[in-house]
Amino acid sequence: MTVFQSGAKIDVSGVSVSFPLYHGGSRSLKKTMFAAASGRLGQDSHQRVVVEALRDLNFTLGSGDRLGLVGNNGAGKTTLLRMLAGIYEPVLGRVRVQGSVSALLDPNLGMNLELSGRENIMLRGMISGLPRSALPRLEEDVQAFAELGDFLDLPVRIYSSGMVIRLGFALATAIRPQVLLMDEWFLAGDSSFMEKARSRLEDMVRGAEILVLSSHAAPVVATWCTRVIWMDQGRIRDDGPPEEVLERYLGYPVQIPPPAPAILPAA
């Protein structure tokens, strides 16, 4: 029964995700009931607009893999990250993710703006499943990086936007997962802060066994990824080594930055 688990693993097979788009009448029980009473329910359920966000995806990732996701807006990159994080469940197919997962999807990531910085840190630690004994250490770590001083006890609502980003970033990078799912917002930010954030982020990326990075910036993907999937309208359009896929995606060869790479393009 006991299975030896060696490292992180992601297995996606035959996965489709579709969003029902409820608008106007389909949100209403009254209208749905009247439609049923007048025998139009069947028709109504077909009229529902469904967005097929992901269609029949298949891929596996093992320990050490660094996957880059490229594609236009609306190609399904963020939906795929959300699905790997377990937030959306597949409508068809199956997903298996082995290892602790952390998804850096948006800067405010479950932060409650009405709560103080300290309370947000505690909540985030609990949500990530850290033992209670680790919470003071988390607080210390975040505090040291975010440099909020006395603001830590004030509601996040009154922070300047830079402070919110620092707190969000410090929180998101304080907990080291085995599988790191990262959206491109993480690579955007004001340059002086990013200078400081770089080593922390690089540390985290190196520490993760699997990285899935969704980005528009080809140099970043080329530097950090060992494999690239090109998404187009919810499907995998291309899958392979970064140089080849990126060249086909962009239409011209990418300059692979020199070694000793910087994850962030110089500001």
Partner 1 sequence: MSVALDMRVEPVLELVSNIAAADRKRMALRDIEDGLRLWRLGCTLGWLDIKLRYRGSLLGPLWLTLSTAVMVGGLGILYSTLFKTSLRDYLPFLALSMVLWNTLSGTVADACVCFTSAEGLIRSARLPFTLYAIRMVVRNVLVLGHNIVVIIAVYALLNVWPGWYSVAAIPALALWLVNALAAGMFLGAFCARFRDIPPIVASVVQIAFFMSPVLWKPDAIHGTYRVLMDFNPFFTLLEVVRGPMLGYMPPLEVWVSAIFFSGLLCALAWMMFMRVRGRLAFWV
Two structure tokens written together for 172: 């998101």
Two structure tokens written together for 128: 């990530």
CB of 235 to partner 1, least distance (A): 18
Binding site for partner 1 (CB under 8 A): 5, 19-20, 22, 27-30, 32, 82-83, 85-103, 105-106, 108-110, 112, 114-115, 119, 122-123, 126-131, 134, 137-138, 140-141, 144-145, 173-178, 199-200, 203, 207
Rank residues 127 and 250 by Cβ distance to partner 1 and give the closer one: 127
Measured CA to CA in angstroms, residue 196 lies from 144, 165, 166, 169, 202 at distances of: 12, 13, 10, 11, 11
Instruction: Give the span between the Cα atoms of 178 and 201, in whole angstroms.
Output: 14
CB of 219 to partner 1, least distance (A): 25
Q: What single letter denotes the amino acid at residue 58?
A: N
Rank residues 75 and 138 by Cβ distance to partner 1 and give the closer one: 138
CB of 38 to partner 1, least distance (A): 18
Rank residues 204 and 246 by Cβ distance to partner 1 and give the closer one: 204
Rank residues 120 and 215 by Cβ distance to partner 1 and give the closer one: 120
Write phi, then psi, for 134 (nearest 5 degrees): -85, -10
Write b or e for each residue in 58-88: b if 16 or more Cβ atoms lie within 10 A of its Cβ, otherwise e.
ebebeeebbbbbbbeeebbbbbbbbbbbeeb
CB of 187 to partner 1, least distance (A): 19
